[in-house]
Amino acid sequence: MSRTDAKAVCKRPEPYFCELDDRYRTLQPLVYRHLFSNDSNQILLTRMVYLDRQEHLQKMCHSYMQDIKHQTNLTKYREMYDHLLVDQKHRLLYCYVPKVACTNWKRVFMILIGLANTTDPLKIPASAAHQKDVITRLSNYSSMEIDSILHTFTKFLFVRHPFERLLSAYRNKLEQHYQSSKYFQSRFGRHIIKHYRQNPSNESLTKGDDVTFKEFATYLVGQEGVLNEHWRPIYDLCHPCSINYDIIGKYETLDQDSEFILKQVGEKGISFPRAPKSSSTTSKLRKYFDSLQQDIIRQLYNVYIMDFKLFGYNLQEFLGYEMG
């Protein structure tokens, strides 16, 4: 399907197809071939949603990254590819983002590439899905192979409202008392309490398991704030202004977007785990952010500003007002 044909079908201008550097554009994404072989109006309507997301992303990249066409060859920076998982069989490339359903997508990837003897993702332990290097990463390939994969594989990622994702990370890793939280409470919690709490108790300094959201936010906007992958901006994890993703899924439409991808690669026997009907994190967002001063919220916004701009998020719907 040529770009001219694509324009004829969609009847709209597509800056995604014509404005950006062609080096890392997928030549013919698998999902697009399936889409254009299907005459369903619903399928075409779904494609328009993804084109809108791509179009917005590329527009923002041009606005905030004027020198995008002059960036150094990406294949020289292998650390940029640690979050890109490879499925050779289906020619898929997935940038996983912690706190955006990445556990379930890693489970699905294990099934897709034949690493699990099941078609039910939930039967795969989360610990197995997160085991380091269980799924091949793009950084494991040679520079020539990386270049080929970036050109020919269908690339996708899932995004989420930056503050909702941040709060989810805080609650899961620092506030709640899961076994998996102990590392984060020991590694980050004790440090935050020591440096951002007046007169901390010995118990808090030892366990680090009672960090407040205000303390966590203050730590993040400080110069020493370490952006662990669970709260690092998606912009820094997946480099969406340098790698042209074919599908941008959203946490808000997780079920539909996941089903769409699986259906288009021909895997009808795999069902992506259904997301809860309502997010408790979303409902609690205002409560947690009410504990922060406006200046801290503004500084947090600046930390995640590229995620807000690139993926079309704002503060109005969550906090009742918008930042500039």
The size of the chain, in residues, is 324
What are the E-state strand segments in the chain? 84-87, 92-95, 154-159, 247-250
From first to last of the 324 residues of the chain, give the pLDDT tens digit: 333 333 333 333 333 333 334 445 666 565 555 554 454 545 555 678 888 999 999 999 988 865 444 444 555 567 789 999 999 999 999 999 999 999 999 999 999 999 999 999 999 999 999 998 899 999 999 989 999 999 999 999 999 999 999 999 999 999 988 888 999 999 999 999 999 999 999 999 999 999 999 999 999 998 776 689 999 999 999 999 989 999 999 999 999 999 989 988 888 889 999 876 656 677 788 889 999 999 999 999 999 999 999 999 998 876 776 765
Residue 283's pLDDT is 75
Structure token pair of residue 118: 């099941």
Structure token pair of residue 256: 């539909």
Q: How far apart are CA 47 and CA 263, in angstroms?
A: 13
Residue 316's pLDDT is 80
Cα–Cα distances (Å) from 75 to 61, 86, 136, 155, in that order, read: 20, 15, 17, 16
Residue 317's pLDDT is 72
Contacts of 167 (CB under 8 A, 6+ apart): 213, 281, 284, 285, 288, 289
Residue 225's pLDDT is 67
